[in-house]
Structure 1
């Protein structure tokens, strides 16, 4: 954490991070609920498909990304980092 930032700015970042994590937790709860009836291997691929579909929508219709391949590279790098971080987390 950057202690040179004003306290209000740091608090806002923390609040945004908490909102982000709560939203992600909602998706995880959907997966965990579905896992009572479906195989986890099917659920994880459906989530990956859904994320790809939604990110394509955002790229094309919200961000108006001109270079789709650059966006794919950026999203792939972000996913790779997130996946590695979670795999390294002993609480997962």
Structure 2
């Protein structure tokens, strides 16, 4: 991913984070984070089945879990979070 693509990716992710932060004024963060996880799982299932037409669903699940695990660990290690 080049720097322009990375910037677009981060800006898109930041839009989701702003939605969560806005919702957090009335909804507990513990509820929001589970709703985001549910929504991500639902959207990724849609992409797997209808966009990339992944034949091996378990391989796709393994790939998504590995990607999420790496992202979560990186953010937990970030002192600015």
TM-score between the two structures when normalised by the length of structure 2: 0.99
TM-score between the two structures when normalised by the length of structure 1: 0.87
Aligned match of 1:9: none
- How many residues are treated as equivalent by the alignment? 81
The counterpart of 2:4, out of the listed 15, 18, 22, is: 15
RMSD of aligned Cα (Å): 0.9
**Greater length-normalized contact order (CA 8 Å, ≥ 6 residues apart):** 2
User: Aligned pair 1:38/2:27, yes or no?
Assistant: yes
User: 4+ residue stretches of structure 1 with deviation over 2 A?
Assistant: none
Unaligned runs of 5+ in 2: none
The counterpart of 1:24, out of the listed 13, 37, 42, is: 13
In structure 2, distance between residues paired with 1:54 and 1:38: 22
Aligned match of 2:56: 67
In structure 2, distance between residues paired with 1:82 and 1:43: 18
Cα displacement (A) at 1:15: 0.3
